Structure 1
Amino acid sequence: MSGPVVVGVDGSPPSLDAVSVAAREARLRGCGLKVVHAFIWPAMHVPLGPSPLGPAGGGLRNMAGRLVAEAVERARSVAPEVEVSNAVVTGEALTVMEAQSRTASLVVVGSRGMGGFVGLLVGSTAVHLAAHGRCPVMVVRGESDRTGPVLLGADGSPAGEGAVEFAFEEAGLRGTGIVALHAWTPWSVAVTPPQDPSASSALDPVILEAGERRLVAEALAGRREGHPDVVVEHSVVRGGAREALIGASRNAGLIVVGARGRGGFTGLLLGSVSQALLHHAHCPVVVVRGSDARR
């Protein structure tokens, strides 16, 4: 879907890092950037203007204006050619950003905001937005200006098709390749038990791995035809997906995953692998929900 890149800001250092990343993403896409601040204080029925005893530039409303102006200045310094707009929207951060995601091509947020608890690796807004956003959601963590291939968490599931498409589009925009990593264990592979109990070849690890390789190759085949200039490296490893993807993220510029994999529970909006990456990845993470995300 076409639309601007939207970045949420609250004046925290992580949100300013997110602004820099969002400005670069808008430049890559040739679209506008919208800087949004969720202004919750009107709903709390507290005074918004300056105190009669304080400076004229004080007060919560002026503070919101200043932090948005700082974010806009940061964006223009990173990508002067990008058209930057801004909005201070009354409401709680998750509600405001979820609404913005309905018309955005990408939403970018920092890993933690001003309200984050000390020691918390990723804030609740980032996690919940990744689960509820109506467009791809990028959570900026690690080094925000990382270079390297796009790391795709590929599991061959229908829920991951959007992530595959996004990864190819992003790699094409960045002029880089894709590392499609698929991690499997004998317990994660759907195997039809042989009718003859003595025919145990279907459970042979070599055969299982070959089936997993075919699964990933089939999931990527159609996208490769539409993006012939994107070089794809397949990496199929036996082990836990969380550990494998977090380790591989050390050498990636960006990691892209679906909200849920084929092992997810029905109705679960954000799977355990996606959540683990939001907390521990060494580069920015994009979570792409399934095809029903914009309904």
Structure 2
Amino acid sequence: MTSGSPFVIVVGFDGSEHSQAALNWAGDEARQRNGRFHLVTAWSNAPLSWYPAVMETAMGGIAVPEDSPRQIAERLMAEALKSGAAKGVVITGEVVENHSPAAAILAAAQDADLIVVGSRGHGGFSGLNLGSVSSQIVHHALCSVLVTRSKSS
């Protein structure tokens, strides 16, 4: 951070309880430092996991598929931007197609002063204290990193 430039916080956000804690913490910190924060939500299409077309069911009816991963990510981002704006700070966001959420967050944080991530996201190993994305961020970030936990953890 150079003198005169705002304190910049990059937040990894996937909608999980831990990432919500990261969003809340970053909003409070940005407000205290007269800074700004930038949200990053990464998504990817797993092979054969989702098809964006209307499909016929075996009964001959029409089944509308679930939202695509991109639509889910965009909805999460819109909700997060609203809640962040309520904190009275400058907030921006981006939805990134990337198979590595950690890589997307690290790329967005090239000029950041701080990265804030939740201790873990939606991964299947609920007993982990630190998820794979958070671990990668901690080990590869070029700036300070804060890992938050939700209050229920």
Q: Please indicate, yes or no, whether the TM-score normalized by the shorter chain is above 0.5.
A: yes
* 1:196 to 1:250, Cα distance in 2 relative to 1, 3 A: same
* Percent of residue pairs identical: 35
TM-score, length basis structure 1: 0.43
- Structure 1: any 5+ residue segments left out of the alignment? 1-142
Contact persistence 1:164–1:220 (CA under 8 A): no
**Which deviations, in whole Å up to 9, do the C-alpha atoms of 1:68-91 show, x marking residues without a partner?**
xxxxxxxxxxxxxxxxxxxxxxxx
SS in 1 for 2:14: coil
TM-score, length basis structure 2: 0.79
* 1:267 to 1:214, Cα distance in 2 relative to 1, 3 A: same
> Where does residue 238 of structure 1 map in the other structure?
97
SS in 1 for 2:110: helix
In 1, Cα distance between the equivalents of 2:142 and 2:63?
40
- For 1:185, give the aligned amino acid: S
SS in 2 for 1:250: coil
1:210-229 matches, cutoff 5 A: 210-225=71-86, 227-228=87-88
1:168 to 27, 40, 50: 27
Higher RCO, 1 vs 2 (CA within 8 Å, ≥6 residues apart): 2
SS in 1 for 2:56: coil
* 1:197 to 1:217, Cα distance in 2 relative to 1, 3 A: same
Confirm or deny that 1:178 pairs with 2:37: yes
How far apart are 1:216 and its partner, in Å?
Answer: 2.2
**Which deviations, in whole Å up to 9, do the C-alpha atoms of 1:34-82 show, x marking residues without a partner?**
xxxxxxxxxxxxxxxxxxxxxxxxxxxxxxxxxxxxxxxxxxxxxxxxx
Contact persistence 1:277–1:285 (CA under 8 A): yes
For the aligned residue pairs, the C-alpha RMSD in angstroms reads: 3.3
In 1, Cα distance between the equivalents of 2:111 and 2:124?
27
- For 1:216, give the aligned amino acid: M
Contact persistence 1:264–1:271 (CA under 8 A): no
- For 2:127, give the aligned amino acid: G
> Where does residue 10 of structure 2 map in the other structure?
151
Q: For the pair shown, which has the larger CA radius of gyration, 1 or 2? A: 1
In 2, Cα distance between the equivalents of 1:288 and 1:268?
14
Task: Name segments (4+ residues, structure 1) moved above 2 Å.
Answer: 145-148, 193-204, 219-224
> Where does residue 278 of structure 1 map in the other structure?
138
In 2, Cα distance between the equivalents of 1:200 and 1:253?
47
More helix by share: 1
- Structure 2: any 5+ residue segments left out of the alignment? none
- For 1:255, give the aligned amino acid: I
